[in-house]
């Protein structure tokens, strides 16, 4: 490639990886205000620790202390068509050098989910099995 940006040295080559951030789990609102030291990403199994670290440092300017990974096999399913398997994933645990304060949407979503489970708000089934099968 002989583009002008490349000749001037303005292009930073980055790997084409997909990182999905898992929202952090907070037990209380006070925990959300304190921030987090470790974040969890989900990606494809072929991504390495070094690629993740370099990508986050170059693209977002994040100071990273440590990167750990865990490979997870896809769930095996069976139906009339035979056996199927969901895609394999890799969890990437990134320890940050500085504390990160996630957006308030993460804390709000966690608080509403926690409130609905604590108050016992569950969807009720419309009738029991005996009522549905009785003629």
What pTM value is reported for the model?
0.68
Residue 86 lies inside a defined structural domain of this protein: yes
More confident site: 109 or 47: 47
Question: Is 125 contained in some domain?
Answer: no
Answer with the residue of higher pLDDT: 120 or 111. 111
Range(s) of the domain holding residue 46: 11-120
Residue 39's contacts (CB-CB under 8 Å, 6 or more residues apart) are: 21, 22, 24, 93, 94, 96, 100
**How much of the chain, in percent, has pLDDT values that exceed 90?**
33
**Residue 72: pLDDT band by 50, 70, 90 thresholds?**
very high
Q: Which long-range contacts (CB under 8 A, 24 or more apart) does 87-90 make?
A: 88/44, 88/45, 89/42, 89/43, 89/44, 89/45, 90/42, 90/43, 90/44, 90/45, 90/47
The predicted-structure confidence for 97-109, as pLDDT tens digits, reads as follows: 998 887 777 766 6
Single out the residue of 94, 92, 107 nearest to residue 38, CA to CA.
94
> What per-residue confidence (pLDDT) applies to 76?
92
**What is the mean predicted confidence (pLDDT) over 112-123?**
60
- Residue 129 within a domain: no
Domain-located, residue 5: no
131 domain-assigned: no
pLDDT band at 31 (very low <50, low <70, confident <90, very high): confident
pLDDT level of residue 125 (50, 70, 90 thresholds): very low
CATH of the domain at 72: 3.30.70.330
Count up the domains in the chain and report the number: 1
pLDDT of residue 94: 95
Q: What phi and psi values does residue 92 have, to the nearest 5 degrees?
A: -120, 120
Instruction: Answer whether residue 24 is part of any domain.
Output: yes
Q: Assess whether pLDDT exceeds 80 at residue 87.
A: yes
């Amino acid at each position: 490639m002989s583009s002008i940006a490349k000749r001037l040295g303005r292009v930073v080559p980055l790997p084409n990886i997909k990182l999905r951030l898992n929202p952090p789990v907070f037990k209380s609102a006070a925990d959300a205000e304190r921030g987090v030291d470790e974040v969890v990403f989900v990606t494809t199994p072929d991504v390495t620790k070094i690629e993740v670290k370099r990508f986050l440092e170059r693209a977002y300017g994040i100071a990273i202390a440590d990167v750990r990974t865990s490979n997870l096999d896809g769930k095996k399913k069976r139906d009339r068509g035979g056996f199927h398997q969901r895609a394999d994933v890799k969890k990437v645990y990134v320890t940050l050098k500085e504390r990160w304060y996630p957006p308030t949407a993460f804390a709000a979503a966690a608080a509403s989910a926690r409130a609905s489970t604590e108050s016992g708000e569950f969807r009720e089934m419309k009738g029991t099995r005996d009522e549905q099968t009785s003629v």
